[in-house]
Structures are given as structure tokens and as C-alpha cells.
Homo-oligomer: A and B are copies of this chain.
């Protein structure tokens, strides 16, 4: 898949130029300098030979059909050139040229034309507006960048070409940052991060996929593909961009809690993708994944010649859910017997400031063999007697015959570099600050947890879709978007949610009759499609104990509603069973994210939802494991498990409701917002009752 881009047997460079300083020259020169071994065809109507290669006026004139064409000509000529590629049968094209979607309205139009031509000829396009692409194994470099990075195991894609030039500058100057692929995504007119993830999933040259992106247009597909690919190798993503949720109008609780950043967090998690905080963490973790075996547990051993840095690394490990390994008695004994008296055999192992390479080597060996150790971090501060080279070799050698990840932390700069260079020859990453190494271990641990979690189990409940469809049609036929309470009840019933007994009474007489049927005490609520927050207008009366009370309350509620919201359509009052309030109030909600679709929220309900914002999110559809996890992710999760002698809340009921809601919002994409607040959850076995449900349909 996409092999033509990365392992082409022949390449045409449309716009290749002999003039230095021109992009068309840089691309050709890079391709030659990188040592490309296939046939290389400069396309330029104004030259016969460029850089020693025979040039052709057009791809149509070529003696063969190249697998790949690279277009680096002014934008107005791009459509014609692309069409010629299609006619020649070229199926992979990189469009470096800028002047498309990024350049305003006309550019958008131009890009649309390019997409149309590509579709017509079945051409896959990377770009436009890219730096180009590099494959260090082929080797191929068709970019206008400053060179070719060293070969490595990191496959890197970036939506910012300029960012890539900076990373390349770093890579060219350092010994320990190599790449397998180096691809600029540009405008993503065709080939997207999703295609590249898929293409690189089984690439033996790449052991980790890195992406800098500014947005994911198709969130659901991203989750689907990410989940597959992340089982095979880690995907690390740095996603930039401040949320725009502030500018969105929101009318529900869920809406005010869930912005696009929450959707990205949930989506990336569900895709099995590790979301990184910043560039440094992205590349620090990438270097760990690239060359070292995966961390199998969370127990780290630290060997250091200085106490302070060892403690700093420990702090960072513990803050990130890892901890120090507890050595076997045997290991401790061996360390104590070997090390000087003043040394510490306990983890972090302090081999003391005067440790030579040999002492490091012995200690590392003993620790590496301990079955309680999952990963090793070797910290080296450059003290007077420290043997930088010997110590680096010792670390490298241990890494060669252990299946555990080994990181170095040669601290400082001048002498640290010497150690770094040697470590790099053993494929051991070095970190100048021990905290960075600890963070890289944490990323490995996070990936393993993501990779090893069970696949989301599809759950399908037997529901009454037709009933819901009927409700929604009625709402729309009346020109409304907000679903009334009685209608919402029908939707909830159709999807198997438990509700308090309730009837709509148009008159006070009806209300009394229904109340007698249901039994006292009774709750009365205003029924109007135009009143969302009923309590705010005095539209709810609870604990009504007699027919007289019900009659008074009906009149009062209706009077108040008409006074506060004069234009509201009043259907009467809902007469409801007064349910027991001795449960826990939670919230289940949904709002539709433009990128990822239905973002389901779970959290503490009632008044606390607004104050504490103690909520968690998943993109629907999701499986039982996700629903279970949601209950554990909120801060107040202990409240659900029962505290201070209270019984635990009905977990199964909450899980089922989350799954049923996930199904509802997946079945009906026209639902743009949904809130159940509160859902009253009783103790285990007693279920949960939907006390208030609101739905808003697409405009």
C-alpha cells in the first residue's frame, strides 16, 4: 500500500532544474545525493540534460512509466502536469507546489480540481504544499530539505513542513535521531495520516510511527485504523491547536463540558494512540521505542554515580505510574558484596562518585538479571574519575544481551556527548536529564497498556428504532429541534431505560386522576417544548400528597410558566411517581464533535456537575470495557463504589445505560446533544432511573 511512493523503481521530477536555489533543483539534488538507485527522469521542456540526467519535456515523452512523479512547478501548471501523469499511467504523485487550499478561496478551487483529476486517473496524491518525502531505506529523498537524515526506525509524518526542517537540522547534527520515513502531509488533499499509518503498520523498517498533526478530519476512521495499527507498533501523536469550543454555542450541560480537545483525548485513547504533550517528549519517547525492546512491566532499576539525579528520576517515575524495582535478596547480596561499603545496593543503586566503568558494568549486569526488574536506567554524572567511554560501552553491552529496555542518562554537555555517541552505536538512547528518561519509560508503559487492553466488544441491545424515528419525525415536522420531555420519555423507553411512572395531564382534573392511579406522593412538572430548565421557572413541585395539592400545584406551575416564558407552548404538566432520592446522581450526556462524532460524557450529576466538572468521555460506538472504564475514571469514582458504609452503586445498570446511549446516538446521527441529568443510581441490584432526559436534534 502506497509502495509506489516509498519504493519507486523510477521517479519523474516535474520541474527539475539545473539552477541552484530553485526548489526544482533542490529536489533533484537531494534525490541524487541520497543515492537513489532507480531511474531518475528530470522533466523540464527547456533543458536536455540536468545534473547529468537526460531531461524530457513531459512525462508523456518518457521511455517508461515511472512509479512516482514529483511536481514542483508553479501552481497554475499543476493541473495540466497531473493530467499528463494520469495519461501516462503514473499512480503516485507528490505535489510540492504551494498555492492551493492554504492560499485562500481560489486555492481551494484549484485544490478541488487537482482532487478531481486524481480521482479520474486513480492517482494517489501526497500534498499539495509539502516539503516532500524521504525513505532512508530505499533510499529516496524527493524534498527540498537541507539533506537526508540518518537511517533509523522512526517513521515521521508532519502537517508542518517547517517543523520538519527543524527536526532534520537536529537529526543531521546528532548521532541518535534516525528516521525510516520522513513525510510532509501538507494539505492532505488525498493521502492522510490515516493512509500513512496503514501503510507503515507492517513496514519492517519502522518500529514507531510519529505524527505531528493539526487536526483529524475523519475521527471515526482514525479510531478504527489506529486501533488496528497500534496493536502492531506504537503511534505517537503531537496534536496542536487551541480549542474553539469557546466560540460554539452550547445549550446543554454536556455541551459546556465537552470541547474538541476532550474529543481528541478520547479519540486518540480509543485509537490506541499516545498523545504527547510537546515536541521534546515526542522525540524523547520516539527514540526509546525506535531501538529498545518494549517495557514489560513498571519496575525500573536505576544505577547512578550520584544520589540527587537518582532521586529526581525516581520522582518522575512515580509521578507517572511507574516505580522502583525491589531487588531479589540474591541481587542485593551480590551488589553488597561487590560494591564499596559507602555505596547503596538498594534501588536506586548508588555506585558512588568514584565509580569507574567496571563498577558500572558489574552492577548493571547484576541488576539486569534480576527478575523483578523490567527496565534499566543508567545515570552518569561527569565526575573527576568517571570513565565516560568505558561506562558507555558497559551500558551498551548489557543492552545487547538483555530483553529489557536500557536507557542512558549521561548528564551535562561536553563529556555527555562522548558517552552519547558510543551509546548510539549500541542503539541505546541517551537523555541529558534523567527525568526525560523516566518519561520515556512512562510512554512505553502507557503504550503497553493501550496495546494490551481487550478489543472493544460490540454490544447490541434489542431496541425499538421505529418508535424513536417516529418521535424525531414529529419533532421535525413541527419545525422544532428540541425534543419535549414526554417525547424524550418515549425515546428512553424505546432504548430500554428505566423511567419513573409518568403521564402527561393537559388539565388539573387529568392530573388528579393520574395521581390517584400512580399513588402519592407525586411530582408535577411543567410540560413544554420551550422550557428547558424547568426549576428555573418554578416549573417543578415535589412531594404532593393529596388531590388538592396536585390541583393547586398544576394551576401554579402553568401560571408561572406562562408568566416567565410568555411565548412558550404549554402542554400541561407531567404527573410523575416521586422516586426515591437515596441514590447517587450521575450524568450521562452526548454532544456531537465535528471531527469524531458522538462524544459521550459520564460524570457526577446534579449541581456538582457544573461545579466540579468531574466527567470523562468516549467516542461512540464503544464497548463494555470502555463503559466500565468510564466509571473508574471520574475523580469521584469512590463514591460509586460506596464510602463510609454506603452500599456500592449499581455498576451494571450504569454500564448498560452508557452502552444503550452509545447505541442510540450512533443509530441516530441527527441527535446533536443529549443529557440525562440526573440519572439516579441506586445500590447494587436496584438499577438506575432516568429522572430527566433532554435531546436536541440537528437544525
**Which residues of A come within 8 Å of B, CB atoms?**
23, 26, 103, 144, 146, 158-163, 165-174, 212, 214, 238, 240-242, 278-280, 305-309, 311-312, 314-316, 318, 342, 353, 381-384, 411-417, 432-436, 535-536, 607-608, 610-612, 614, 635-636, 638-639, 643-646
Closest residue of chain B to A414, judged by CB? Answer: B173
A241-B311, A612-B612, A636-B611 known; A173-B643 Cβ under 8 A: no
Count the copies.
2
Contact B413 A169 (CB under 8 A): yes
Task: Report the separation of the CA atoms of residues A391 and B611 in the bound assembly, to the nearest whole angstrom.
Answer: 48
CB neighbours of A353 from chain B (8 A): 161-162
CB neighbours of A381 from chain B (8 A): 162-163, 165-166
CB neighbours of A415 from chain B (8 A): 169
Contact B433 A163 (CB under 8 A): no
- 29 examples of A-B residue contacts, CB within 8 angstroms: A146-B382, A161-B306, A162-B381, A163-B309, A163-B411, A165-B306, A165-B381, A165-B382, A165-B412, A169-B414, A170-B411, A170-B416, A172-B413, A172-B414, A173-B413, A173-B414, A174-B413, A214-B311, A238-B312, A241-B311, A241-B315, A242-B315, A279-B435, A280-B435, A607-B643, A607-B644, A610-B644, A611-B636, A611-B639
**Partner of A278 from B160, B168, B316, B612 at Cβ < 8 Å:** B316
A162-B306, A308-B162 known; A314-B242 Cβ under 8 A: yes
Closest residue of chain B to A613, judged by CB? Answer: B635
Closest 9 CB pairs of A and B: A160-B308, A162-B306, A169-B412, A166-B411, A173-B414, A173-B413, A170-B413, A278-B435, A240-B311
A241-B315, A314-B242, A635-B612 known; A308-B644 Cβ under 8 A: no
Contact B412 A168 (CB under 8 A): yes
A103-B342, A318-B242 known; A312-B279 Cβ under 8 A: yes
Task: Report the separation of the CA atoms of residues A11 and B18 in the bound assembly, to the nearest whole angstrom.
Answer: 69
A169-B411, A611-B643 known; A162-B307 Cβ under 8 A: yes
CB distance from A611 to the nearest CB of B (A): 5
Contact A306 B644 (CB under 8 A): no
CB distance from A174 to the nearest CB of B (A): 6
Closest residue of chain B to A636, judged by CB? Answer: B611
Task: Report the separation of the CA atoms of residues A163 and B612 in the bound assembly, to the nearest whole angstrom.
Answer: 41
Closest residue of chain B to A147, judged by CB? Answer: B414
Contact B612 A309 (CB under 8 A): no
Closest residue of chain B to A308, judged by CB? Answer: B160
CB distance from A215 to the nearest CB of B (A): 11
Known contacts A172-B414, A278-B433, then 12 further A-B pairs from the complex at CB < 8 Å, ordered by chain A residue: A162-B381, A169-B414, A170-B413, A170-B432, A214-B311, A238-B312, A242-B314, A242-B315, A280-B436, A607-B644, A608-B639, A612-B614
Closest residue of chain B to A213, judged by CB? Answer: B308
Task: Report the separation of the CA atoms of residues A172 and B416 in the bound assembly, to the nearest whole angstrom.
Answer: 12
A169-B412, A309-B160, A316-B278 known; A384-B607 Cβ under 8 A: no
CB neighbours of A307 from chain B (8 A): 160, 162
Contact B607 A26 (CB under 8 A): no
CB neighbours of A169 from chain B (8 A): 382, 411-416
Contact B240 A308 (CB under 8 A): yes
**Partner of A611 from B146, B305, B411, B638 at Cβ < 8 Å:** B638
CB distance from A648 to the nearest CB of B (A): 13
Contact B163 A308 (CB under 8 A): yes
Max chain B Cβ within 10 angstroms of own Cβ: one of A305, A434, A612: A612
Contact A306 B160 (CB under 8 A): yes
Contact B163 A306 (CB under 8 A): yes
CB neighbours of A306 from chain B (8 A): 160-163, 165-166
CB distance from A610 to the nearest CB of B (A): 6
CB distance from A274 to the nearest CB of B (A): 17
Closest residue of chain B to A382, judged by CB? Answer: B169
Task: Report the separation of the CA atoms of residues A23 and B384 in the bound assembly, to the nearest whole angstrom.
Answer: 9
Max chain B Cβ within 10 angstroms of own Cβ: one of A174, A305, A381: A381
CB neighbours of A645 from chain B (8 A): 536
CB neighbours of A311 from chain B (8 A): 214, 240-242
CB neighbours of A26 from chain B (8 A): 384
Closest residue of chain B to A166, judged by CB? Answer: B411
A169-B415, A414-B169, A645-B536 known; A309-B162 Cβ under 8 A: yes
Contact B240 A312 (CB under 8 A): yes
Task: Report the separation of the CA atoms of residues A437 and B84 in the bound assembly, to the nearest whole angstrom.
Answer: 48
A382-B169, A383-B165 known; A279-B433 Cβ under 8 A: yes
